[in-house]
Amino acid sequence: MKQSVPENPIQNPRAIVRLPIILSLTLAAGMLLGATFFSGGKKLTDAAKGYAKFREVLMLVQNNYVDSVNTDELVDFSIHKMLEKLDPHTAYFNSEEATSARSQLESGFDGIGIEFNIYNDTVYVVTPLSGGPSEAAGIQSGDKLLKVNDEILSGPGVTNAKVYKLLRGKRGSEVKLHVGRRGMKGGIDFALIRDRIPTYSVDAAYMVDQEIGYIKVSRFSETTYDEFKTALGSLKNSGLKKLILDLRGNPGGYMEKATSMADELISGNKLLVYTDGKDTRFDRKTNAKIDGMFEEGPVIVLVDEGSASASEIVAGALQDHDRALLVGRRTFGKGLVQMPIKLSDGSELRLTISRYYTPSGRSIQKPYERGKGDTYNKDLSDRFNSGEYFSADSIKFDSTLRYQTDGKRLVYGGGGIMPDVFVPRDTSMNSKFLFELYAKNIIREYALRYVDENKKSLDKLTFQAFLDNFKVTDAMVKALVQDASKAGIKLNEKELNRSKPLILAQTKALVGRYQWGRMRKDGLNNEVFQVLNSMDNVFQEALKQFGKASDLEKGIFSSLN
Convert the pLDDT of each residue in 295-345 to its tens digit.
999 999 999 999 999 999 999 999 999 999 999 999 999 999 999 899 888
- Do residues 439 and 192 touch, judged by C-beta distance below 8 A? no
- Of 66, 174, 137, residue with least CA distance to 437: 137
Instruction: Assess whether pLDDT exceeds 90 at residue 30.
Output: no
Q: What is the pLDDT of residue 36?
A: 38
Q: What is the pLDDT of residue 120?
A: 66
- Do residues 296 and 243 touch, judged by C-beta distance below 8 A? no
pLDDT by residue (tens digit) across 74-123?
988 998 889 989 988 898 988 877 876 776 666 567 899 887 777 668 88
Instruction: Assess whether pLDDT exceeds 90 at residue 535.
Output: yes
Q: What is the pLDDT of residue 25?
A: 41
| Residue ranges of domains in the chain | 12-83, 108-197, 202-335+354-366+373-425, 432-538
- Of 255, 421, 214, residue with least CA distance to 330: 421
Beta bridge pairs of residue 93: 348
pLDDT by residue (tens digit) across 228-253?
999 999 999 999 999 999 999 999 99
Residue 301 and residue 419: Cα distance in Å, rounded?
9
CATH architecture of 108-197: Roll (2.30)
State the chain's mean pLDDT as an integer: 86
Note the Cα 1 to chain centre separation in Å: 23
Instruction: Assess whether pLDDT exceeds 70 at residue 31.
Output: no
3-state helix, strand, coil in the chain (%, to 5): 45, 20, 35
Q: What is the pLDDT of residue 9?
A: 38
Instruction: Assess whether pLDDT exceeds 50 at residue 14.
Output: no
Least confident of 118-127, 291-300, 525-534: 118-127
CATH number, domain 202-335+354-366+373-425: 3.90.226.10
Residue 133 and residue 167: Cα distance in Å, rounded?
11
Q: What is the pLDDT of residue 126?
A: 66
Exposed, middle or buried: residue 320 (CB in 10 Å: 0-12, 13-18, 19+)? buried
| Residue type at position 242 | K
Q: Give mean pLDDT, residues 475-500.
A: 95
Instruction: Assess whether pLDDT exceeds 60 at residue 24.
Output: no
Q: What is the pLDDT of residue 7?
A: 38
Q: Give mean pLDDT, residues 458-487.
A: 96
7 vs 130: which has the higher pLDDT: 130
Q: Give mean pLDDT, residues 247-271.
A: 96
pLDDT by residue (tens digit) across 139-190?
876 788 999 998 998 888 788 878 888 998 888 999 999 999 877 788 899 9
Q: What is the pLDDT of residue 37?
A: 36
- The answer to pTM > 0.85 is no
